[in-house]
Structure 1
Amino acid sequence: MKINKKLTGLVASALCASSLSAGVSLATDGTGDFLIAPFYEAKNDVCSEIKVFNTNETNSILAKVAIREQISSQEVDLPIFLSPGDAWSGTLCEVEGKVLLRSTDDSNHPIVKDILANGKDLNAHSLNAGHKNVDFRNGYVEIYPIAQFNEKSTAKVKKDILVKRWDALINGSLNVRNLKRDGVDNDSLSGSISFRTNNKETSTQQMKAFENAHSKQRVGGSIAYAEDTSPEVLLGQQEKFDILRLLQNSTTSVMYEDFGKNQFIYFSFPFGYTEGQERSFEFVVRDMSENKDLEKTVVFSPRPRQMNYVLENELYIMPVSELISKTQDSTMYKKGMIQIKNIRNRSNHQLGIGRYASFLPTSVIIEKNGLKGTESYISSVVETPVK
């Protein structure tokens, strides 16, 4: 069979052009170049441990951990310095009314090493920065790649070398040894959130990973940890829109048991908080025999104060039992499925008014009778299917 070389060349060129213009996509293996942990909890007896892994065995990675609180996504961020195959961890706990971030990891910046070892009060830090009405007891976490360096070896790289490279990039220099100038590899980062009570892990959730989010090296003051973390600056405006579109969903479903007692759906809405924002939604409650309640439509414009289902926070926690209580006969619905449908923006945030909201949903069961009899702990976390 004779092969048309000209046609083969055109096909190869088209494939090459397609790969160069590829937009952001959701990773299927949990590794990527941008990560989101859909939620964390640092409240009462529950602590959350953030874990970030550099899955690249011959490259160092500089990254930024952005911890965002639940009301308006105000953030506290910090840089981390990962040599090949390295990992970083930090723990969020509520201690005497303070939400403390603690980390003794050697991947922390020397300037904040002692502060993190003793515990950094996130609420106080945010309030001192001029933000109002913040609550870091719940929230979500983003991991931004900053730079990648080809070490050509699996050997450990001294952290002071990585810090010097970081400082050079902040000062605007691209003349940094081993720097990969066209962004961070798609499979360089992975992460998880583990939930702990009395220092015992009870559940873990893998972070959502994205690919092709970091394709250009950024330099200057915008990447410094003293600056607010901005996806359009660190990733790019188009990358931000791509991620929002990937997280636009019309329906999410959750299985419930025992009338939904101690079961919650956590909705994270990244990239787009606006003052006085509103979202509307509908829901359907079904039992195991496919009987369904009349579809409930809850619309908030203007926002009624007496209603419980105002999707106003950037991390919204929805009790499943309250949804079931809205049915005509809640005694029918001991076990089954709930569908949350048509979560739409009713004000101009994320991708605009009237558009589907961009969100990450998670189903969580919180046990009330814990390891010492009275404390609560997160016993299971399940990624909620969407479409």
Structure 2
Amino acid sequence: MDTTLSAEQEELRRTVERFTNEVVRPVSQHHDETKTFPYDVVAQMGELGLFGLPFPEEYGGMGGDYFTLCLALEELARVDQSVAITLEAGCSLGTMPVYLFGTDAQKQEWLPRLTSGEILGAFGLTEPEAGSDAGGTKTTAVLEDGHWRINGSKQFITNSGTDITGLVTVTAVTGVREGGSKEISAIMIPTPADGFTAEPAYNKVGWNASDTHPLSFDDVIVPEENLLGERGRGYAQFLRILDEGRIAIAALAVGAAQGCVDESVRYARERKSMGQPIGKYQAIEFKLARMEARAWTARAAYYAAAAKMLSGKPFKKEAAIAKMVASEAAMDNARDATQIHGGYGFMNEYVVSRHYRDSKILEIGEGTTEVQLMLIGRQLGL
């Protein structure tokens, strides 16, 4: 597989790299420390077209593909994972379900605003007893006189409580199938809405500038036509979204892993001990070499998964491998980068300290490492 970027892809990568260094980097520490959402950065991301990267021009998108989104995520995540996950969740979880499963009317109504970054979309799947286990879903949607009445709650929902959140799609039990299993459908809730509450934001270990809330629904009423896709197919639809999203998360994790390499190489060249840069010592050199090897391997994995997805071939196993390998590379590199920086690595003003706090969630969100192992095992026929 040729991993050389085309001229257009390289131009995009460089554009996002410049944006990251000139716009994102100067304010990252502030938003991390104050746990504030970077509205100005997100607005400029919208102006740059990043929220529309993988969507057709007819809906206000940039006419690119999923791989171009991954390239942008990698560059952003080298410096700020919170900003990167805002883009990833906005595109993959907020907009992609409408694009893939929406009616023509739903696409015309929602996609131009989502792809421009005017509003953010969110997707509510996880509940206290439901996530990977669809049978645990307790949120309900009852059809009454042409409207859905929604009651229940969700947790850990990204982009769900910002001032520019405009759409939250949720999975809900809409009936019972023959045999007694739950019929789960996806329903769009325009926000704000009566009965919809974004509860106080979580006090998180990392991703401090990313917006994450538990949600509650108390007799939220939306029109029947807000059903997204086929009734009873909501969970299956979201599994497809997760398969694609794992490639995007892998790209984000590669950016974090590479960011740790970049920051550590810079530090190893400048920091001197016993009269020479610490990078001259084999102990540091070998640690950096292993970090670079992890980032390179993880990048190759998500490139391969993206290529298979875009070719129209089954890619579930490749996506799971990419997500697992990349998230572990990010966590391992963050630990080693902190060690190389010594005491400075424990100070929050250093980028590697943020990566140390931020990277752990990459092994949990959008499918834990254990879930990826299970998926890979099943694809092996076990």
Shorter-chain TM-score bucket reads under 0.3
- TM-score, normalising length: structure 2: 0.25
Greater share of residues in helix = 2
Greater share of residues in strand = 1
- TM-score, normalising length: structure 1: 0.25
Q: Considering Cα pairs closer than 8 Å and 6+ residues apart, tell me whether 1 or 2 has the greater RCO.
A: 1
